[in-house]
Amino acid sequence: MDFSPLKKVASAAAEKPILKNFEDPDRARQFSVSVGDMLFDYSKTSIDSTGRQALLDLYESADVPARRNAMFSGEAINETEGRAVLHTALRNLSGDPVYVNGVDVMPGVLETLSRMEAFAADVREGRFVGEGGQITDVVNIGIGGSDLGPAMATLALAPYHDGPRCHYVSNVDAAHIADTLRGLDARTTLVIVASKTFTTIETMTNAATAKAWMSASVANPAAQFAALSTAADKTAAFGIDAERVFGFEDWVGGRYSMWGPIGLALMIATGSDSFRAFLNGGAWMDQHFQLAEPLENIPVMLALTGIWHNQGLGHATRAVLPYEQRLSRLPAYLQQLEMESNGKSTSMNGKALDVNSGPIVWGEPGTNGQHAFYQLIHQGTRVVPCEFMVGAEGFDNDLAHQHRLLVANCLAQSEALMRGRSLDEARAIVSGKFEGAELERQAAHRVFPGNRPSTTLVYPKLTPFVLGQVIALYEHRVFVEGVILGINSYDQWGVELGKELAKALEPVVAGEMGTDGKDGSTAQLVKTVQRLSGA
């Protein structure tokens, strides 16, 4: 893909201050997408009509619609692994056929969903109990896609929790599971082990620790375990009854998997009605993504804005800034979704990319970030495109004034990033406090360069349906950017090498093997750890 025309028009457009674009009174409407109760505003960027056409040309050249149709049709678009990419089937509650190799996968999807709902209802309503009675706590043990998605969503939907308390353990650092289990009653705790292969070393290490913890006070600890896995032989060997094992196919990638069995803890916390609303929100976005024309398509325009900032203007990072405390884990979730998907250097044809791939994704919820890294965003030397999101309404009606303050802060930040503060305006602020050279020095510190781009997504309220819309929106954004970049967004070979080396290093750290063959730095670090730990 030739990005040089985009770079040329992006460079030319960036010479005009973003604020000047609003001399056109229709700018905001023309550079926004409004669908249902959701508004995506990208007018506070340097994208102009010429730039937008250049982006659409890339979209057409990459034949994104054909690739999209191939994905939804069950073709093996994950070409390096020979797999279909059908997390969308997990939220296809209509049951309309979806074929993989000529076989309709929907009966199996819906049967698994039905089993999940039955088990979740049994836990919530006290038919499935622990040795000490009704389940009060659920501990989900996973890592990566088996943790980040459901942990994020469980926090996001806190107002809908009416089931057992849910806890998530991912890190192999013993502190994570020790701190989580401390204070829980093993006799009323359900442990869910989430690992497709039931071999993920971090997950299985934590699972063994949890089982040992439960064994101290429960006669048959495996009876209070469930598994999200396709490895029936390994779950049986662990002692988990087949009726509490929920599998999913290889056409569901880990970071796209919370729509199915990986979302079991979320379903137990909020109930099947809320979980189905979450699925319906995702399905709504699927339909919108498939049917809407590019300029009226939120995932497409979100993706093209990202291409503009990263590949067009060379901005290496993007900040995701939800003004919603319950979305505090969304930036971390999107880090994995976007950076594991599009953090590649090899194109689909096996050749090196000749353009930067996906950006560094980071962020925190507002308003916390305003008192932390916003300093760099406003006055730092690097431009960081910002992606704000905010709900028009909160949940606590008696604290509505606080939500209004939250919204005001969100909208003010995007305006401030664009508008900035001139030296003359800064002088006016310090005039009368300082004089001469000191006035100039003090004023200089109060200048904001402005012209910093941002987008804003506004939704009505963070319901399960809206959360489903938002997550599916970002999934499709990743897809569009990946297709335009010419990469496979659905493999993750980059996570393998470090894991392989860690397995080989463990006996070295334990002192069972020497450091022969290791580089000087690694050998020194191993010996230092051994000395400090007394190994």
List, run by run, the mean pLDDT of 10-residue segments along the chain (535 residues): 95 97 98 97 98 98 98 96 97 96 97 98 98 98 96 98 98 98 97 96 97 98 98 97 96 96 98 98 98 98 98 98 98 97 95 95 97 97 98 91 97 98 97 96 97 98 98 98 97 90 92 93 95 88
Q: Quote the pLDDT of residue 268.
A: 98
Sheet arrangement for strand 225-228: 165-169, 137-141, 189-194, 225-228, 245-246
* Residue-level pLDDT at 147: 97
Of 202, 249, 338, 340, which residue is the catalytic one?
340
Q: Closest by alpha carbon to 417, among 460, 374, 365, 446?
A: 374
On the question of a cis peptide bond just before residue 112, with omega within 30 degrees of 0, the verdict is no
Give the integer Cα–Cα distance in Å for 478 and 354: 19
Q: Please tell me the chain's helix, strand, coil percentages from 3-state DSSP, rounded to the nearest 5.
A: 55, 15, 35
> Which of 16, 20, 499, 527 is the catalytic position?
499
Exactly one of 351, 371, 401, 433 is catalytic; name it.
Answer: 371
The pLDDT of residue 496 is 87
Tokens 């869910």, located at residue:
192
CA distance 206 to 193: 9
Catalytic-residue membership of 499: yes
Which phi and psi angles does 452 have, rounded to 5°? -100, 125
Report pLDDT for 361: 98
The yes-or-no answer on residue 503 being catalytic is no
Say how far apart CA 260 and CA 267 lie, in whole Å: 10
Give the number of C-alpha atoms closer than 13 A to the C-alpha of residue 449, restricted to the C-beta side: 13
Global pTM? 0.96
The answer to whether residue 167 is catalytic is no
pLDDT of residue 195: 96
| Structure-token pair, residue 517 | 């063959």
pLDDT of residue 534: 86
